[in-house]
Amino acid sequence: MIEVNQIKKKFYDKKNGNFYALKDISFTVNKGEIFGLLGPNGAGKTTLLRIMASIMQATSGHVKVNGYDSKNEAEAVKKSIAFLSGNTKLYKKLTPVETMRFFGKLYGIDKQLIEKRIDTILNTLDMYSFKDRVIEKLSTGQVQKTSIARCMIHDPQIYILDEPTLGLDILTSRTIIDFIQTEKTRGKTIIFSTHYMEEADTLCDRIGLIHEGDLIETGTLEELKLKTGKGNIREIFLSYIDRSEPFDRIK
Ligand SMILES: Nc1ncnc2c1ncn2[C@@H]1O[C@H](COP(=O)(O)OP(=O)(O)OP(=O)(O)O)[C@@H](O)[C@H]1O
Ligand SMILES: [Mg+2]
């Protein structure tokens, strides 16, 4: 379970001065739920997910992940989650299997268990054909699968995935969507961001719409359809985004 409580994040940039990238965000992702975060470029999705993953600290508010405070119990949070982002680092000279072994050891997992996990992950993500090829020679989709494999080697309770299918073909995306669904059936909690509306439609139990640092709506697809009178997620998204107010700047 993830509890996000009144999270604000203030950034500074030369042109705009101080501004809130996250204004006052509160919501809960229940155990065993898939929660999709949708919002235009610059809405604050990555910032929010990084705060949830204890990679970045909020200016105020707090997040509890699997019962742990993301600020004061960052190590416990990191052990409870798989965090995937565009910045996930991999060693180019290692193969996917070596990568999983390396990170498995870092997590202090028993050798036999690591090998068992590797086998399961290779299967789930359909990685057998390139499992022993060095990462620098892999395609975009193969690297993305390796990034996911690397962050889930410790079989975490919670997945925090920032645009997991960005730039992938429909087959590779399908594998990743299937994997997210499989993890849900294993009782895992998943929050992910995406720009692909179809994906949100297929996967999410609940959706959160974020725009200019505000969580402007949360609900199931059915609830959002009823509220807006729109027939699909694309129309719902546009109906909310079009009516939002601009950024608040701090003086
Ligand atoms: N370290 C930083 N310093 C200053 N501003 C930042 C920093 N990180 C993010 N921002 C700004 O905060 C806002 C939210 O950025 P964020 O990356 O969270 O958006 P996003 O919703 O993930 O967008 P996208 O869909 O393009 O990935 C943007 O205006 C961005 O420029
Ligand atoms: Mg982002």
Q: pLDDT tens digit string along 148-191?
A: 999 999 999 999 999 999 988 999 999 999 999 999 999 999 99
Q: Which protein residues are within 6 Å of ligand 1, measured from CB?
A: 11, 13, 21, 39, 41-47
Per-residue pLDDT of the chain (251 residues; tens, 9 = 90+): 999 999 999 999 888 789 999 999 999 999 999 999 999 999 999 999 999 999 999 999 999 999 999 999 999 999 999 999 987 789 999 999 999 999 999 999 999 999 999 999 999 999 999 999 999 999 999 999 999 999 999 999 999 999 999 988 999 999 999 999 999 999 999 999 999 988 998 999 999 999 999 999 999 999 999 999 999 988 998 988 876 444 443 33
Q: Which domains are delineated in the chain? A: 2-88+155-242 (3.40.50.300)
Please give the biggest Cα pair distance in the chain.
Answer: 57
Closest ligand 1 atom to 195 CA: 25
Residues contacting 162, CB < 8 A, separation 6+:
45, 46, 49, 50, 84, 85, 86, 192, 193
Res 162: pLDDT: 96
User: C-alpha distances in angstroms, 51 versus 69, 73, 74, 196?
Assistant: 11, 13, 10, 23
Whether the Cβ atoms of residue 211 and residue 180 lie closer than 8 Å to each other: no
CA atoms within 13 A on the CB side of 134: 6
Tokens in use for 5? 């409580």
Give me the residues near ligand 2 (ion), CB cutoff below 5 Å: 45-46
For residues 134 and 93, give the distance between their C-alpha atoms in angstroms, rounded to a whole number: 5
pLDDT of residue 243: 63
Amino acid in the structure at residue 247: F
**Ligand 1 centroid to 46 CA: how many Å?**
7
Q: What is the pLDDT of residue 248?
A: 41
129 C-alpha to center of ligand 2: Å? Answer: 30
* pLDDT value of position 189: 97
Structural tokens at position 21: 């990238």
